[in-house]
Amino acid sequence: MHSHPEAADTLIVGAQLYDGTGAPPVERDVAIRDGRIVAIGNLSNWLAEEVIEANGRALAPGFIDVHTHDDTHVIQSPQMLPKITQGVTTVIVGNCGISASPVSLKGDPPDPMNLLGERDAFQYPTFAAYVEAVNAARPAVNVGALIGHTALRSNQMDRLDRAATAEEIDGMRAQLEEALANGALGLSSGLAYGSAFSAPTEEVMALAEPLAAAGALYTTHMRTEFDAILDAMDEAYRVGRHAHVPVVISHLKCAGPSNWGRSEEVLKSLEGARRMQPIGCDCYPYNRSSSTLDLKQVTGDIDITITWSEPHPEMAGKLVKEIAAEWGVTQQEAGKRLQPAGAVYHNMSEDDVRRILSHPATMVGSDGLPNDPLPHPRLWGAFPRVLGHYARDAKLLPLEEAVRKMTSLSAHRFGLAQRGEVHIGYHADLVLFDPARVRDAATFENPQQAADGIDAVWVNGVLTYRDGAVTGERAGHFVARGAASKGDAHGAF
């Protein structure tokens, strides 16, 4: 045996290692070299350019935000502060049927594509052009991408309030296939929105057909999360069975007071389907949702906070009912006058949120809206809120299970190879945090607040955030769909 020490770029010493698999923590040192994890164990005989004393804090795989609308943000604000400050090292963009590419707009972006930016933010007629722009921006986090059904509809159709014709579906499929060939992770839909609601299930089924050959998946913001949610879930299962692809139900929730308390029934449906086909879901840890202002939801039975309004920006932060009273009009009329606008809907029950979040099939995704001037706090707080508020304080789930829902489960489902676990040979995406202090600081009133207790974040082996400040290094890049490292994509469900 040689006695000379092994060498690493970075050595993290004395950590409680949460490896991402859900296993309980163990004390370990971790060595990083050339962007990879090269050793795990007692590494006291190792040398490194930089040694970080973990002092018993938690070391975990960098968190994967599976549900984002960061499509243009990763290019325009590549430091990605809302995410890197949470320990997020990979974001998946293109959710809810809306993606920044491939897109060729004829006018202003249709609702809700306007969540991704104004007309001039859409500069990527092909997916390859988007990949190039992401890599040129050198974002702080890695970027995986879904292709939005609504984005494809808007490319191919003169109006969105009807079903696509066979020719239009062919056009959409060709664009989807270009994206899949360039590493897109799959197809997303946003069937609840007016821009896709007229698409029959058959349209989505036909569009989903090329996914299987590419090893890609289908994610869906379902046709409804209100009273007919079980039918909407059946529709999602049907698309998955038709196209032989895994399905992820986005931000699973029981929306609307008449639906509260139904999470048990909803999860039973999910479990039944999981016996037949690969299906999971994501959820954000809050009992309020957020999107553009939808007049159909302005019914007076829940509070709705306005976060932005093009004609009335001064109304941000106020409830629709307060604005209606101030103007002396009905809430519906106030909603009309505020359009286009963004909103936070007080539309879930806390019990349902907890039951869905703690289910083993549920991944954590923020659904944060980075272009909103008064964003839902999930943008800056989702991951530390699960670790601090729900795992530590409310004891809803063990910390190692919370970490699994943000790391290995997510990497396996979305086909992100060699990420999501602290494992020799894997990419060195890592987060060091203090389990006693980690907490979300973002609130509805003051949402743009960095979390507490996130001590250090490495992306591809590069220290990117430490002690509350960015280092100035940015080492993220586009990540293509890869073969799952252990088992196949189906087995991972």
Q: Which positions touch Zn ion (CB under 5 A)?
A: 96, 221
- Going by the DSSP 8-state scheme, the letter that residue 278 receives in this structure is -
Residue nearest to Cu ion (CB): 96
Choice between 96 and 387, CB closer to Cu ion: 96
Amino acid at 47: L
Q: What angle do CA 455, 458, 464 make, to 5 degrees?
A: 80
Minimal distance, residue 255 CB to Zn ion, in Å: 11
Other CB atoms within a 10 A radius of the CB of residue 338 amount to 25
Site for Cu ion in 142-161 (CB under 5 A): none
Per-residue burial over 149-170, b if 16 or more Cβ lie within 10 Å, else e, is bbbbbbbbbeebeeebeeebbe
Minimal distance, residue 368 CB to Zn ion, in Å: 11
Q: Which does 323 bind (CB under 5 to 8 A by kind): Cu ion, Zn ion, none?
A: none
CB-facing half-sphere around the CA of 177: CA atoms within 13 A: 11
Choice between 368 and 381, CB closer to Zn ion: 368
Q: Where are the alpha helices (DSSP H) in 340-393?
A: 350-358, 378-384
CB neighbour list of residue 340: distance below 8 Å, 6 or more residues apart: 111, 114, 292, 293, 309, 310
Choice between 196 and 428, CB closer to Zn ion: 196
Choice between 182 and 305, CB closer to Zn ion: 305
Q: Which does 455 bind (CB under 5 to 8 A by kind): Zn ion, Cu ion, none?
A: none
Residue matched to tokens 């990083």: 32
Q: Where are the alpha helices (DSSP H) in 360-459?
A: 378-384, 399-404, 408-414
Tell whether residue 96 is a contact of Cu ion (CB under 5 A).
yes
Q: How far apart (Å, rounded) are the C-alpha atoms in residues 394 and 413? A: 27
- By CB under 5 A, name the one of 89, 95, 154, 156 that touches Cu ion: 95
Choice between 221 and 412, CB closer to Zn ion: 221
Q: What is the DSSP string of 48-89?
A: EEEEEE-TT-EEEEPEEE-S---TTHHHHSTT-HHHHTTTEE
Q: Roughly what angle, to the nearest 10 degrees, separates helices 149-156 and 166-181?
A: 130
Tell whether residue 343 is a contact of Cu ion (CB under 5 A).
no
Residue 277's nearest CA partner among 321, 326, 237, 232 is: 237
Minimal distance, residue 482 CB to Cu ion, in Å: 24
Minimal distance, residue 40 CB to Zn ion, in Å: 37
Q: Which does 29 bind (CB under 5 to 8 A by kind): Zn ion, Cu ion, none?
A: none
Site for Cu ion in 358-387 (CB under 5 A): 367
Minimal distance, residue 469 CB to Cu ion, in Å: 29
Minimal distance, residue 186 CB to Zn ion, in Å: 15
Q: How far apart (Å, rounded) are the C-alpha atoms in residues 263 and 267? A: 6
Minimal distance, residue 369 CB to Cu ion, in Å: 8
Q: What angle do CA 58, 64, 66 make, to 5 degrees?
A: 145
Which listed range, 93-101, 277-285, 378-386, 391-399, lies at the site for Cu ion (CB under 5 A)? 93-101
Minimal distance, residue 292 CB to Zn ion, in Å: 10
Which listed range, 12-20, 96-104, 131-139, 148-156, lies at the site for Cu ion (CB under 5 A)? 96-104
Minimal distance, residue 295 CB to Zn ion, in Å: 17
Choice between 10 and 410, CB closer to Cu ion: 410
Choice between 180 and 283, CB closer to Cu ion: 283
- Going by the DSSP 8-state scheme, the letter that residue 257 receives in this structure is G
Q: How far apart (Å, rounded) are the C-alpha atoms in residues 208 and 172? A: 10
Q: Which does 324 bind (CB under 5 to 8 A by kind): Zn ion, Cu ion, none?
A: none
Which listed range, 88-96, 130-138, 167-175, 327-335, lies at the site for Cu ion (CB under 5 A)? 88-96
Minimal distance, residue 98 CB to Zn ion, in Å: 9
Q: Roughly what angle, to the nearest 10 degrees, separates helices 149-156 and 201-208?
A: 100
Q: Which does 413 bind (CB under 5 to 8 A by kind): Cu ion, Zn ion, none?
A: none
Choice between 189 and 418, CB closer to Zn ion: 189
Minimal distance, residue 305 CB to Zn ion, in Å: 18
Tell whether residue 30 is a contact of Cu ion (CB under 5 A).
no
CB neighbour list of residue 300: distance below 8 Å, 6 or more residues apart: 321, 331
Q: What is the rounded end-to-end Cα distance, in angstroms, of the chain? A: 43
Minimal distance, residue 36 CB to Zn ion, in Å: 34
How many chain residues interact with Cu ion (CB under 5 A)?
A: 3
Q: How far apart (Å, rounded) are the C-alpha atoms in residues 62 and 23? A: 16
Q: Which does 19 bind (CB under 5 to 8 A by kind): Zn ion, Cu ion, none?
A: none
Choice between 116 and 492, CB closer to Zn ion: 116
Choice between 203 and 282, CB closer to Zn ion: 282
Phi, psi of 89 (to 5 degrees): -115, -10
- Going by the DSSP 8-state scheme, the letter that residue 117 receives in this structure is -
Choice between 16 and 366, CB closer to Cu ion: 366
Q: Which does 378 bind (CB under 5 to 8 A by kind): Zn ion, Cu ion, none?
A: none
Choice between 86 and 289, CB closer to Zn ion: 289
List residues binding Cu ion (CB under 5 A): 95-96, 367
